[in-house]
Each structure stands twice: as C-alpha cells, then as structure tokens.
Structure 1
Amino acid sequence: MSTADRGRPRSGHGKGGEPRGRHRQRRRAVDLLFESDLKDVPATTLVTERREVFDTDDSVGEMTGYAVAIVDGVTANREQIDAVISARLQNWKFDRLPGVDRAILRLATWELLYASDVDIPVVISEAVALATELSTDESPAFVNGVLDRIATLAPQARAASAGE
C-alpha cells in the first residue's frame, strides 16, 4: 500500500466498513422524513410521487437502495420508533423537537433497532454528522445523548427482529 493510499477506505467501503454513498442515502432519507412530517403524509408516498413525476431525474435514482429501505422501515415502525425516542428524551417533548432532529432521530433509531448490518457506533456517528450538517449548533450533542440511551436497546431489538 502506498503512502497516498493509507487511511483511504478499500473495496467500495467508507469509514467503519460502511458502503460508500450511505451517508448521501441517509441524508436523502432525512429530507424525505422531514418533508413527510411537515406535510403529514407517509414518506413512502413521497418516494412514489417522485418516481412518477421525475422518473428520468438522477436525484430520484438516489432514492433507491438504502434510502428507500430507511423510509420504508421508519414508516412501517414509526409508532414504535417514536415511542422509543420519546421515552429517552430528557426535558423535551417529542412533538416540540425541531423537525430535522426528529427525522434524524427516527432514521438512527430505525438503524439501531432494525439494521443489524450497521455497527451501532456508525449509526450514532452518522446521525451526529447529519445533525452537524443540517441542524442547530446544539443538535449534535443532543442527538448523541438520545441515541446513546437508545443504543442500550439495540442488541436485544436486533436479536428479536433477526429471530422473526
């Protein structure tokens, strides 16, 4: 390995063994989850609408694979995800959170509980990165704290969903 290659991910994977492009997929999913919350429509409906209207648009091509899996998973499990988040908030009400923070927490909670192919530290790191990019200065620390509390449930939840 040359010195220029040191520290670079190998074989199509990013940091922590994550496939490249997953950060972009997560960001696309956050956008859809945020819009869904704002419009009070299922995020899966937004995906379907965009595919119908923009079937030749490259940005819609990005709404495949992992972004759609996130949207589908969050939509299917939203009540449970929201309940888990709400139970781990300290001095906050779920409906009073900034919309983008709700979307990030929903995405990350779904990954923590259902996406056993993603390491727990990667989920938290990615969520904090999204909060840094998309939300307030206080959001990364807030998101990290909530997800640290939710992460304690992840091993049992993942085992249960794998057993189904």
Structure 2
Amino acid sequence: MSRRELREQIFRILFRVEFHDPKEYEEQRELFFALEEGEASEKDISYVNDKAEDIIAHLPEIDEAINAVAKGWKTSRMGKVDLTIIRLAVYELKYEEDIPTGVAINEAVELAKKYGTDTSSSFVNGVLAKLA
C-alpha cells in the first residue's frame, strides 16, 4: 500500500474509536482487518495497527494541542470526521519526524475532501495551519 492508502486505513480505524467503548477496540480492530482481508499485507496491517494504537495512546496530548488553537471550537464540538482527520495530522506533525509539515497538512485536507462535508477541508486546513 502507498503512504496515502495506509494513512486512509489509519483514519478509518481511528474513526471507529469515536463510536465504541475503548474496551471494544481490540474487537473493532479485528473486525476492521477482517473486512480488509486480502487487500493488505501483514506488514501493512502491522503498520496501521501500530500507528493507530500509538495515536490513541497520545490522544490526551493531541486533543490538548487542538483545543489550544481551535478558537471557538473544542474537540467535543467538532464533527467526528474532521476531528479524526485533525488528530491523525497532529500526530504526524508532532511525533513523525520523517513526514514534512506540508505533506501532513495536505494529506489531511485530501482526507477531509473525501470523507468530510463541503467545509471540512477548509476547517481542517485552518486548524492545522495554526498548529504548524
């Protein structure tokens, strides 16, 4: 899988976290990968799983950073798609040294165009620009 495809898979698995109890993460992860069977290599599955778990472990710090710059918007008020995309991008900005800032923001905007509303891409771009 390409980096973009891997990022999209991470987004999709993180999105599930918003709707399920954290105790159900293991089951949700297994269901997710069962649906993706045959489309991803073991290496890709491992990468997606490891990255998703690391992002989940850093959610308190990520949400704190988002809340600090999103004037008038707190993570509790944001749409789940936008929030998940922003969380993924903030993780890449803060914890992934090999991903340039512009790439992380651009990829987040592209995900917002694909999965969000008409205004998602500009909202995501605005929040991430303040963080960068």
When the two structures are superposed, what TM-score results if normalisation uses the length of structure 2? 0.85
Identical aligned residues as a percent: 32
**Distance change >3 Å, CA 120–CA 142, structure 1 → 2:** same
How many pairs are equivalent? 129
Partner of 2:71, secondary structure, is coil
Name segments (4+ residues, structure 1) moved above 4 Å.
none
- Unaligned 5+ segments in structure 1 are 1-19, 152-164
Q: Which has the larger radius of gyration?
A: 1
**Distance change >3 Å, CA 42–CA 140, structure 1 → 2:** farther
Q: Give the equivalent residue in structure 1 for 2:12.
A: 31
CA displacement 1:34-84 (0-9 Å, x = unmatched): 11111132686233x248x8399224544332x234302211111000111
When the two structures are superposed, what TM-score results if normalisation uses the length of structure 1? 0.70
C-alpha deviation, 1:92, in angstroms: 1.4
1:115-134 map, 5 Å: 115-134=96-115
**Distance change >3 Å, CA 56–CA 29, structure 1 → 2:** closer
Q: Give the equivalent residue in structure 2 for 1:14.
A: none
Q: Relative CO higher for 1 or 2, CA cutoff 8 Å, sep ≥ 6?
A: 2
Pairwise CA RMSD of aligned residues? 2.4
CA displacement 1:62-109 (0-9 Å, x = unmatched): 4332x2343022111110001111111122121111111111011000
